[in-house]
Amino acid sequence: MHGPDPDRRYPLTGAGTERLGFLKNFVTNPRIVVGDYTYYDDPEGPAAFERHVLYHFDFIGDVLRIGKFCAIAAGATFVMNGSNHRQDGFSTYPFAVFGNGWSGLDPQESVFPYKGDTTIGNDVWIGYDALFMPGVRVGDGAIVAARSVVTADVEPYAVVGGNPAREIRTRFDAATVAALLEIAWWDWSAEKITRNLCAIGGVDLEALRRAT
């Protein structure tokens, strides 16, 4: 065997294991793209995830991208671009949306702030109730502490926390981070990953480099 089947909804068996699932097999929105082996753990079950992707309107077209091998705790919430209001006038109220004589302002997409797609890298650990604002990018290997509010991009292998989330520390020195990003073990085949689990979970960079 070469690890669990990423196309299986529930990778674990036994009582209570229905709360954890490989997320890509539960999302139904084509503008939520999730990589293999990324899991979501929620007492309400993995199907609850999409309820935490907010203001994700089709007419805007933004995408939530989540990489491979991410661990996402219950309550992680992603606020998408449909939440944004204009800030250049005296009022932020979206009058034009409601019509009925209130359509004097043109409700085109271009007049609303747009931050782009939200992107979570590979091997990212997202803690309980973390909140992500529109358009943020979280680098590979990062850790987002529980109940953090992520309003800006997170560097690869950084640990962030707080409201707004700030970098607490980096997991490794810059040279090691660069090497890990180049190795990109999450793109290896399942067979190669299985053969090298100790190197992936360890701290011997040369062993990871020598992996075959």
Which CATH number is 148's domain given? 2.160.10.10
Cβ–Cβ under 8 Å, residues 32 and 11: no
Would you say residue 10 lies in a domain?
Answer: no
Decide if 109 is inside a domain.
no
Both 119 and 196 in a single domain?
Answer: no
In a domain, 49, yes or no: yes
Same domain, 192 and 167: no
Which two structure tokens, joined as six digits, stand for 44?
A: 């309400």
Q: Are residues 121 and 201 in the same domain?
A: no
Measured distance CA(74)–CA(49) in Å, rounded? 8
pLDDT of residue 126: 98
* Residue 74 belongs to domain spanning: 17-84+115-171
In terms of domains, do 21 and 54 share one? yes
Residue 136 and residue 117: Cα distance in Å, rounded? 8
Mark whether 120 and 212 lie in a shared domain. no
- Please tell me whether residues 21 and 79 are part of one structural domain: yes
Is residue 90 in some structural domain?
no
160 & 179 share domain = no
Residues 80 and 177 in one domain: no
- Among 2, 52, 56, 85, the active-site one is 85
Q: What is the mean pLDDT of each run of 10 residues along the chain (212 residues)?
A: 92 91 98 98 96 95 98 98 87 83 62 89 98 98 98 98 98 98 98 97 96 96
pLDDT at position 108 = 54
Token output for 169: 């520390």
Beta bridge partners of 39: 22, 71
- Reported as a single tens digit per residue, the pLDDT across 1-44 is 789 999 999 999 888 899 999 999 999 999 999 999 999 999 99
Is the bond into 164 cis (omega within 30 degrees of 0)?
A: yes
Closest CA to 31 of 78, 74, 75, 68: 78
Residue 108 lies in a domain: no
**What is the tally of structural domains in the chain?**
2
Q: Which two tokens stand for residue 142?
A: 């990062």
72 and 133 within one domain: yes
pTM of the model: 0.93
**In this structure, are 124 and 57 located in the same domain?**
yes
- Asked if 80 and 154 sit in the same domain, the reply is yes
Active site residue 85: yes
What is the model's pLDDT at position 109? Answer: 46
Place of tokens 């004589």: 101
66 in any annotated domain: yes
138 with 195, same domain: the answer is no
Residue 4 located in a structural domain:
no
Q: Is residue 48 part of a domain?
A: yes
